Amino acid sequence: MKKREFLLFFILPFLLVVGLFTLLSNLNRQYIQAKMQELASDQLSATALILKESIRAGLERGLSASEVLTPYQATEDIYFMAILDGQENVIDWTSRFEGYLPLSQKERLSGELWIIDSPEGKIFNHYSALTTADGRKYYFYLGYSLKSLDVLLAYSKRNFWYILSALALAGLLIFAGLYRLHRSYQLAAAEAARQAEEKEKFKEISAYTSGVAHEIKNPLNSLALLFEYWQSLNISQISQELEKGKDEVEKIGRIVDSFSEALKPVSLSLEKFEAGSVIEEEIKELENLAEEKNLKIDLKAEDGLKLTADRLLFGRVVSNLLKNAIEASPEGGLVSVKTYVRKKKVILEVEDSGSGIEETQAGKIFEPFISSKSSGFGIGLYLTRKIVTAHGGKISFSNGSGGGAIFKVEMPGGESG
């Protein structure tokens, strides 16, 4: 499992749990608030009924509104009371808000009960009519504190944050433990992969040995025939034939050198350099080969593009791809080279004007000893991929709209100038 996949696999469920916990906590607080308001409503209605009967009795005895309200001023949960006449004008009132009576006919909701926000928190309001025995009509306005409900909700909210913090801490500890286990697994998997790579390398060596034997056999046979032929020739003819023999021997040397290079592990010497200058140098080196075919090389390089890589090996990658593109293009053709930076990667694209990659070759084009050229050994693209992979990059190919092949290299460590 990749690091990103690991993070998504564990973080997303954790965030889902936290989200569900938050949602359930909010729903729980809303439920508690609704139930408390329901209980407060019942209590307020009962309290208002008792107070109304007491106030009615006082008014019937001839007491003033002030005298009727005075005994209840010290009641803790009653924050304000008012007595209004039949036209709903305030006769007298008392309030714990230092002279503040939150009464407005415009703001008052229909019905007897409603809740308002005040400087002291939420207040449950009761407003209803009362009539004395002699037919006088009054209105009674009562404000009942919901401070106990606010305290309970604040306590619930504080507990929510405590539990959420504990849950987050536990999640982080579990995640750290799982990440450590995952890291150990990755290291073990990497070691297993390394051992498998070693075994694969031995298989490659065996394949190389067979390839070397096969490739050397034909030149050696040619040399044997040449030496037999020399025996039947006079001295003047030997010089010309010796030159052919020398070419064959040099060919054997080149084959052996190629195979030896393919067997060597890639050792990187990293440095920061201008990628464009390296590409220009390799193009200049191949100018003669391009001129032989009357072929043009078109370079489009991003200015100031820098790359941290092995300069010599990067040049080898560019050279291999350019040489293949030149050889694949027809007389008077065009080789296009583009390089730019994308997401801190240097992208190199080399496109020829040939006939493209055949489907039968597409699956094995990077394998050693696979070549469509009669003079090729099938090592160039194999070494190119080996170098790119050693840098942590990747190489791919496709057929362009014009018919030619496009090789695309992505090298990490790129910077725009």
List the domains of the chain with CATH numbers. 3-145 (3.30.450), 158-263 (no CATH), 270-415 (3.30.565.10)
State residue 236's pLDDT score.
Answer: 59
Q: The tokens of 377 are what? A: 């050994």
How far the first Cα of the chain sits from its last, in Å, is 35
The total of other beta-carbon atoms located within 10 Å of residue 326's CB is 20
User: How is the beta sheet containing 296-301 ordered, strand by strand?
Assistant: 296-301, 334-342, 345-351, 405-412, 394-399
State residue 351's pLDDT score.
Answer: 93
State residue 258's pLDDT score.
Answer: 63
> For 52-109, what is each residue's pLDDT tens digit?
888 888 888 888 888 888 887 767 677 788 888 888 888 888 877 665 566 654 455 5
State residue 156's pLDDT score.
Answer: 67
Q: Is 278 within 8 Å of 311 (Cβ atoms)?
A: yes
**Tens digit of pLDDT per residue, the chain (417 long)?**
555 665 666 667 767 777 777 777 777 767 776 776 677 677 777 777 888 888 888 888 888 888 888 887 767 677 788 888 888 888 888 877 665 566 654 455 556 677 777 766 777 788 888 888 888 898 888 887 777 666 666 666 777 677 777 777 777 777 777 777 777 877 887 778 876 775 676 566 656 666 666 667 667 667 767 666 665 666 655 666 666 666 666 666 666 666 666 666 778 889 999 999 999 999 999 999 999 999 999 999 888 899 999 999 999 999 999 999 999 899 999 999 999 998 889 999 999 998 888 877 777 787 766 665 555 556 788 888 889 988 999 999 888 877 889 999 999 988 886
Would the pTM count as exceeding 0.75?
Answer: no
Place of tokens 């209840």: 72
The total of other beta-carbon atoms located within 10 Å of residue 84's CB is 20
- Residue 98 phi/psi, 5° resolution? 55, 55
State residue 282's pLDDT score.
Answer: 92
Report the run of H or E that residue 247 belongs to, with start and end.
helix 235-263
State residue 67's pLDDT score.
Answer: 86
